[in-house]
Chain A
């Protein structure tokens, strides 16, 4: 496989699978997550993304209501990852099947994924900018 686009798709699909596996392995009941909130450790204040790992784990286990309680934005971020996994697989297959579709497909994918990213992470992005302008 010598196509950069396919390599990128394969890599990001792997990353999303890792996120899902991480959410499945670590239990929200045992609270044994290896990644702690650095923001909270330093400032002592919880941030907008606190509870995201718990939320993902609960979504994987089908406990959606509890997932919303841990982080209200957990579901939209998780859906972004699931959609990206589907798109990486789908676009890769399309790219292999229709080799001529290369450039338009990559442009459409980039714009579409960018918009999806903004929708999914918008609350976090806004919180970062808000925090920055408050401190300046």
Chain B
């Protein structure tokens, strides 16, 4: 009796090949290439299951092998994009943190420098000279301002009168 090759795994082969080709097209488009890894894995699984069925029943494997190869290629291309995007995203995530740290360092240094220095403000208006000398500390500046304003402080002044 002659062996008739049955078509077990044929439908899986078609499904795998269709999924693999669509995955391949998606994988080479950078905008959507990242998500192509999911149908790529599905194509590989379909082709593998189909191949095991075909091996048991001695049915043709051409379509299944084509689906498997294209699926593997597509998944590799998609995986390479996942790798690239992950690298870019991680370096992009690191940069703002670095910049934030630099700004904080500069700010701290400026505040530290200013705390140790005296500030001198000179105002010369139509013969009247006013000189304010103070440290950068808020307390010192408030004290100096209080001294200068003396009794002329008006109601709207921001500094509250000492009781």
CB distance from A34 to the nearest CB of B (A): 12
Whether the Cβ atoms of B88 and A45 lie closer than 8 Å is yes
- With A8-B18, A128-B81, A132-B80: A39-B33 Cβ-Cβ less than 8 Å: yes
Cα distance A117–B34 in the bound complex, in angstroms: 19
Whether the Cβ atoms of B84 and A8 lie closer than 8 Å is no
In the A-B complex, the 6 residue pairs with the closest CB atoms: A47-B30, A37-B31, A135-B87, A43-B88, A131-B84, A49-B31
Cα distance A124–B32 in the bound complex, in angstroms: 12
Cα distance A121–B77 in the bound complex, in angstroms: 13
Whether the Cβ atoms of A125 and B28 lie closer than 8 Å is yes
Cα distance A35–B36 in the bound complex, in angstroms: 14
Mark contacts of A108-128 with chain B using CB atoms, 8 A cut-off: 1 yes-contact digit, 0 otherwise.
000000000100010011011
Mark contacts of B28-49 with chain A using CB atoms, 8 A cut-off: 1 yes-contact digit, 0 otherwise.
1111111100000000000000
- With A4-B13, A8-B17, A132-B80: A42-B30 Cβ-Cβ less than 8 Å: no
A residues in contact (CB < 8 Å) with B: 4, 7-8, 11-12, 15, 35, 37-40, 42-45, 47-50, 52, 117, 121, 124-125, 127-129, 131-132, 134-135
List A contacts of B102 (CB < 8 A). Answer: none
Instruction: Report whether over half of chain B's contact residues are helix, strand or loop; otherwise say mixed.
Output: helix
B residues in contact (CB < 8 Å) with A: 10, 13-14, 17-18, 21-22, 25, 28-35, 63, 77, 80-81, 83-85, 87-89, 92
List A contacts of B63 (CB < 8 A). Answer: 4
Cα distance A117–B29 in the bound complex, in angstroms: 12
Cα distance A121–B25 in the bound complex, in angstroms: 9
Whether the Cβ atoms of A39 and B22 lie closer than 8 Å is no
Which A residue's beta carbon lies closest to that of B30?
A: A47
Cα distance A49–B32 in the bound complex, in angstroms: 9
CB distance from A104 to the nearest CB of B (A): 14
- With A128-B80, A132-B83, A135-B88: A7-B14 Cβ-Cβ less than 8 Å: yes
Whether the Cβ atoms of A127 and B14 lie closer than 8 Å is no
- With A7-B14, A15-B22: A49-B88 Cβ-Cβ less than 8 Å: no
